[in-house]
Amino acid sequence: MAMLKLSLAFDVLAFVFFLCFIMSTGSYQYFLFVQQWPPTTCAVRKKPCYQNPPSKIFTIHGLWPSNYSKNAWVANCNGTRFSNSLSPALESKLKKSWPDVESGNDTDFWGREWNKHGTCSEQTLDQELYFQRSHIIWKAFNITNILQNAKILPTGSKWDYADIASPIKTVTTKMPALRCKPDPTQPKNPNNLTMPHQLLHEVVLCLHYNGRVLIDCNHTSTCKNNLKILFQ
Ligand SMILES: *[C@@H]1O[C@H](CO)[C@@H](O)[C@H](O)[C@H]1NC(C)=O
Ligand SMILES: *[C@@H]1O[C@H](CO)[C@@H](O)[C@H](O)[C@H]1NC(C)=O
Ligand SMILES: *[C@@H]1O[C@H](CO)[C@@H](O)[C@H](O)[C@H]1NC(C)=O
Ligand SMILES: *[C@@H]1O[C@H](CO)[C@@H](O)[C@H](O)[C@H]1NC(C)=O
Ligand SMILES: *[C@@H]1O[C@H](CO)[C@@H](O)[C@H](O)[C@H]1NC(C)=O
């Protein structure tokens, strides 16, 4: 009898471990939540943007399930295709937080982001949840506001990486990652007196696998170490 109980206990335990296993593994390990600065998106674009002039508010680029390993690019998974059937209430929120800055077709942008990225985390967030969660994080951590309060204004000043990352970390308590783009108006080989710089393009917050809690972002910056960052 004691033996039976023990074996039952063992089975229960094994089942619990199994559940934990299927719940904690998936086709990705964590999320990048990427917000873009529209003036930079449009400055590096070959054609003029639909938003003209682009709005000076950080808006969502995407929520990207990712893996820690650099050569494990997670994208284009076998999930359901974008069904374009988000609730009207959510759609009207997304028009503010997740507009298609470049071409002006918001649903098309949402569809491309879902099909490329959202399909890889569908086991955690279905289509409605994926967009809802993104909107909630955008609203909860207002990057535009955080930088404004830290007197980091888009007036063409140049900053060090930490000047911009630190105030964001103070508010969110987790390390963000910045993404930069080369300034297309800057000479390729700056053999002159102007200090070379890069443009602040995107601010990334990292999220746990469950898409609910923030975690530190590591090694996900695309900014060059030795260059000042222009915010304009
Ligand atoms: C990402 O990590 C998950 C879980 O560890 C793994 O199942 C998946 O194959 C990885 N994806 C890629 C593209 O390496
Ligand atoms: C999707 O499914 C197809 C066919 O079953 C397979 O060839 C392909 O590798 C899958 N892609 C991913 C990203 O899982
Ligand atoms: C926006 O994109 C969707 C999906 O690609 C398409 O069906 C629709 O016709 C486009 N709308 C406009 C106004 O171009
Ligand atoms: C974010 O902050 C900016 C600047 O303070 C403000 O204009 C905007 O209304 C805020 N957005 C939201 C969704 O609260
Ligand atoms: C960042 O590094 C810390 C400590 O090494 C680790 O716990 C965390 O998961 C990492 N986060 C990312 C997004 O790489």
Within a domain: 209: yes
Nearest CA to ligand 4 atom 8: 145
- From 94, 108, 110, the mutation candidate for ligand 3 (largest count of ligand atoms within 8 A of CB) is 108
Range in 76-85, 114-123, 192-201 with the lowest mean pLDDT: 192-201
Is 18's pLDDT higher than 50?
no
Centre of ligand 2 from the C-alpha of residue 79, in Å: 10
Within a domain: 75: yes
Residue 213, ligand 5, Cβ within 6 A: no
Active site annotation includes 61: yes
- How much of the chain exceeds pLDDT 90, in percent? 79
Within a domain: 59: yes
Within a domain: 18: no
Q: Which residues contact 159 (CB under 8 A, 6 or more apart)?
A: 152, 200, 228, 229, 230, 231
Within a domain: 6: no
Active site annotation includes 202: no
When pLDDT is averaged across residues 200-212 and rounded to a whole number, the result is 97
- From 144, 148, 151, 153, the mutation candidate for ligand 4 (largest count of ligand atoms within 8 A of CB) is 144
Residue 192 pLDDT class (50, 70, 90 cuts): low
Within a domain: 15: no
Alpha-carbon gap, residue 129 to 211, rounded angstroms: 10
Active site annotation includes 117: yes
> CATH code at 151?
3.90.730.10
Within a domain: 131: yes
Name the domain count of the chain. 1
Domain hosting residue 173, numbered range:
29-185+196-231
The ligand minimizing its distance to the Cα of 154 is 4
Look over the chain and give the mean of its residue pLDDT values, rounded to a whole number. 89
Nearest CA to ligand 2 atom 7: 78
For the ranges 18-32, 106-120, 210-224, the maximum mean pLDDT occurs at: 106-120
Q: pLDDT at position 106, please? A: 98
Within a domain: 12: no
